[in-house]
Chain A
């Protein structure tokens, strides 16, 4: 589904990603871990199409197409979803409007008709149960005055409504209490299907207790320093990132 080859990215003239290789197949869950500042959000943003990132070399192919050629909205319509590490507040746009506008944009792209008000509301009410979110929040401005946990649930709600094929979650688990973490994990697990893939960016192993990844990659200084299975996450939890950082530094020196 997604093939990243030798991806190099600069931000403000500074090399951040320095040769990422990653292959994600439908049905898989990949965890990307790594210390702060290693480039996890940069990778997520580049995949979602944020401006200000200069791809100096490498390629990203998604469903057989060059992902880097598409504007963000087209990537979204083709099924790429990014849950933001820091969800955006939009005073004046109600949550329900956002969901409707987004869903209808997707449906038009897929050649489906727009949902009428009743069907739409029914769909939302179904999905909102999944994230155990208060229905009142639908009628409030997007994320405004939401608690940290509510904001993250809201990202998962958007994901559940839009039904993307490639879900990238950038530290959706950070700062959540255990209940909210379980809700996010349940949300992800319930959306796991054979034709959908996940990239879970996370700083801690905690989320992976609830969502078992097929692969774990460790990002250090803009490169994948190590890949393994779910056990790698446990090892990292125990030993921290220091040993991998030292290992990469030694390799770089040699």
Chain B
């Protein structure tokens, strides 16, 4: 039996117990998604948007959704690695909210942070009006799979019309068990005029294989702002799909910071649609060593006039790692005065490392300013020489420059605590990859 039909079969047993089973509209939504998944399966490299990433290894495995169980003791120590200070925190372990690990006290009036399962009971209408909205444009196997199978997720609503305390929200998704499946569905609603800072951390038990398939739908209201940080630190044997789909209303501002460090096979999607005079900033840094494969797929729809988008993705690939950057910007006919820039810069540190980079601009309006640039290269030899003339050994100089190439993206993080934590992870990765770091 194929993996797809196994999952479909499994749905027959667990489907009824999935959250929101009491809601006919959701049952219908899940059934429809299941039918689509059953017919189309997981995405294949035959699809244009997936042509550099073959996920057939996922189909050879059998990941099982876990029954609700006590998180293992090790969870505590992993969490310590990622928990930030002075934040509200929502923790999901193996695809479900772990209530006793959360810290959500002192929330301002109107602000909601809870599990999606809980929200389906408490705020079914709110969920109904947003679920499938931003991801509705998307049409591939992982989306359908997630819709059919999601076991929980984060539900966040930042209310507008009042000043929120400037305290970020951190959501940690931790995978603690081998061969497990975590399908989380997140809904982030930033109401008009509200501002929210959100940190998503995906992590898992070292050396364990599991599948984390997350879909995050975001709606940013008029004149509202969201800074969304995604830190992907899955186990180096894990499979990660993480799709973030955003709708930006008039003058909405969206900043996304995508740090992709872990995982064996990773696909990050960040898609957004900009309303009138909306702005988005997409930053990405992906590192891959060994046999890691990291695919970044971004899509910016300039649907209305006066939108601004800035995108910078950087990749560092060593050993036999493979990276993909597919960045697409579509400027629709009505989107006059669009100002869009995209760049992708990559460092290949070994002869066997590989990057496929494909920036695409599709412009249907005539009065726009758009640009893109791509570089694939090695370290700047002049900089290596310069550092050597300052007494730094060649190997240390190369490490310093590689670290700097990455750190330049880390420096853009606007939350001090997170910046320090990401920097520490970067250093740990560098030392794990056996690179020199005496200069620190």
Residues of A at the B interface (CB closer than 8 Å) are 48-51, 71-73, 75-77, 81-82, 84, 88, 90-93, 97-98, 101-102, 105-106, 109, 141, 158, 162
Contact (Cβ within 8 A) B382 A102: no
Of the listed stretches B196-204, B361-369, B383-391, name the one at the interface; the rest are far from the partner chain.
B383-391
Specify the chain B residue showing the minimal Cβ separation from A76.
Answer: B391
Option from A73, A88, A90, A158 in Cβ contact (under 8 Å) with B393 = A73
A-B contact pairs, 15 of them (CB 8 A): A48-B385, A73-B388, A76-B389, A90-B383, A90-B386, A90-B387, A90-B401, A90-B404, A91-B404, A92-B405, A92-B408, A93-B401, A102-B390, A102-B392, A106-B391
Contact (Cβ within 8 A) A73 B392: yes
Shortest Cβ distance from residue A203 to the other chain B in the assembled complex, whole angstroms: 21
**CB of B394 closer than 8 Å to a CB of A:** yes
Quick one: which of B387-440 are within 8 Å of A by CB?
387-394, 396-397, 400-401, 403-408, 411, 439-440
Q: For the complex, what is the distance from the CA of A221 to the CA of B32, rounded to whole Å?
A: 79
Contacts of B385 in A (CB 8 A): 48-51, 72
Option from A49, A71, A93 in Cβ contact (under 8 Å) with B404 = A93
Contact (Cβ within 8 A) B394 A101: no
Specify the chain B residue showing the minimal Cβ separation from A78.
Answer: B391
Contacts of B400 in A (CB 8 A): 93, 101
For B381, B383, B392, the residue with the greatest tally of chain A CB atoms inside 10 Å of its CB is B392
Specify the chain A residue showing the minimal Cβ separation from B381.
Answer: A51
Shortest Cβ distance from residue A86 to the other chain B in the assembled complex, whole angstroms: 9
Number of interface residues of B (CB under 8 A): 27
Contact (Cβ within 8 A) A71 B394: yes
For B387, B390, B403, B408, the residue with the greatest tally of chain A CB atoms inside 10 Å of its CB is B390
Other contacts beyond A73-B388, A73-B389, A93-B401: 17, CB < 8 A: A48-B385, A51-B385, A72-B389, A73-B392, A76-B389, A77-B391, A88-B382, A90-B387, A91-B404, A91-B405, A91-B408, A92-B405, A93-B404, A97-B439, A101-B400, A105-B393, A158-B390
- The 4 A-B pairs at the shortest CB distance, nearest first, are namely A92-B404, A92-B408, A72-B388, A105-B391
Shortest Cβ distance from residue B387 to the other chain A in the assembled complex, whole angstroms: 8
Instruction: Determine the main DSSP class of B at the interface with A.
Output: helix
Quick one: which of B136-192 are within 8 Å of A by CB?
none
Specify the chain B residue showing the minimal Cβ separation from A102.
Answer: B390
Contact (Cβ within 8 A) A162 B408: no
Contacts of B383 in A (CB 8 A): 88, 90
Contact (Cβ within 8 A) B392 A82: no
Contact (Cβ within 8 A) B390 A76: yes
Contacts of B401 in A (CB 8 A): 90, 93
Contact (Cβ within 8 A) A73 B394: yes
Contacts of A101 in B (CB 8 A): 390, 392, 396, 400, 439
Option from B392, B403, B440 in Cβ contact (under 8 Å) with A105 = B392
Contacts of B406 in A (CB 8 A): 92
Q: For the complex, what is the distance from the CA of A41 to the CA of B440, rounded to whole Å?
A: 32
Specify the chain B residue showing the minimal Cβ separation from A99.
Answer: B390
Known contacts A50-B385, A90-B404, A92-B407; A162 and B390 CB within 8 A of each other: yes
Contacts of A109 in B (CB 8 A): 391
Known contacts A88-B386, A90-B401, A101-B400; A162 and B407 CB within 8 A of each other: no
